[in-house]
Amino acid sequence: MNTPYVKIHFENGALAQVLPSNDGVFGILSTAATVAGTFALNTPYILRGMDGLITLGVTAVNNPALYKVVSDYYDEAGTGAEVWIMGFADTVKLSDMVDVNNANTGKALLLAANGRLRALFVTRTPAVGYTPVITNGLDSDVALAITKAQALGVWAADTKFAPIFTIIDGYAYSGNPIDLADLTTGSNNRVGVMIGSTISASKNAAVGLVAGRLAKNPVQNKISAPAYGSLTPLATFLNGVATEKADWESVHAKGYITFRTHVNRSGYFFVQDPLATLPTDDYNFITARRTIDKAARIAYDLMLNKSQLPIPVTASGQLQPALARAYEADVETAIANAMTVRGELSADVTNPKDKGVEAYINPAQPILSTRQLNVKLRVRPFGYSDFIDAYLGFQVVPA
């Protein structure tokens, strides 16, 4: 005989809550030193605040390089932000850290995070006595690091279906922007290079500040927008020269991320968020890269759920039109719910049906014989008022 009872069943889902966005989960690769028993090199760690670094025994004394980049990150991002870190010996070059063919560097951090990381931020502090070989205004290894970071980003997108971009430390900037290679002639749309530091004598660039500012902003926000406020540091420098006295305009013109000031605004700001590619590249800014990469992750996850399922076909072995339209709606809805409703894609407010995303599946695909389904997907980013001309004069008074 069953025992009488009263039971409350808790139903779930009415609030339609969503998981917090992972768009600001990044990885930091930095020169570091082992801390016996708590922190090892070539090993992934997760932090959610400076307390996590302290728990690992990492301090500004025993690990000045790693401590600095992480503290810069949390100064901008705030405590609670998730960041993955990995330390390397001072003999490991920037190009080594992002080498897709080296399983013990940045690739290992990406694999350990299992697709959570959206970007890598890479900095190196060589041993005392190291003399950089300056080529095109930077340590010669920076150019190789750009190439290898692009290859790592392509591998992550094409092989792991977890696209990333990488920001590299523009180490040992000579101070003369004329010397710099012009990144706007390249094709590395998954890589950016930062020039500028918060310490006058430092040869390193403040990649941690870039990471922190990105981490607290949604994908469509430019880290350079003055409306979001100045950066946390009270001073910034380009090769020892205070930003307000440095030629940051020429550095920016060659496609580098760097600092600037604004008239009648206190503090320091980024100029823009360029990547090392052509101005005509659709993904020539971090905002565009983050937006399209997020859409790619959403579309992949949805299509993965549809992969290898039985698909009804017409008598000619083609996709049925009704099913094609249903698939289109599924993709559009998934991206719109994850991005457009968050304000991350630009929907046409004059058209209540517009979602800022369009999917198209041609039903005349011989899917029975090819077993291949082709989907065209387009998302609409935001425009940006980078250049504003205002014309001011006196109002004409009628005679």
pLDDT digits (tens, 9 = 90+) for 160-208: 999 999 999 999 999 999 999 999 999 999 999 999 999 999 999 999 9
Q: Would you state the structure tokens that stand for residue 201, as one six-digit string?
A: 């004598």
Please answer whether residues 137 and 181 qualify as being in contact, where contact means their C-beta atoms are separated by less than 8 angstroms: yes
Question: From the centroid of its chain, how far is CA 55?
Answer: 27
pLDDT tens for residues 230-257? 999 999 999 999 999 999 999 999 999 9
Residues whose CB is less than 8 angstroms from the CB of residue 119 and which lie 6 or more positions away in sequence, other chains included: 26, 27, 164, 165, 166, 167, 211, 214
Burial 264-288 (b: 16+ CB within 10 A, else e): eeeebbbbbbbbbbbeebebbbbbb
pLDDT along the chain (399 residues), means of 10: 46 46 93 98 97 97 97 95 97 97 93 97 95 97 98 96 97 97 98 98 97 96 96 96 97 98 96 97 97 95 91 93 94 95 94 94 94 93 92 86
pTM of the full structure? 0.92
For tokens 């302290």, the residue is 54
Distance CA 286, CA 202 (A): 25
Q: From its phi and psi, is residue 114 left (phi > 0), alpha (psi between -120 and 50) or beta?
A: left
pLDDT for 396: 85
**Cβ atoms within 10 Å, residue 132:** 15
Half-sphere exposure of 105 (CA within 13 A, CB side): 26
pLDDT tens for residues 55-76? 999 999 999 999 999 999 999 9
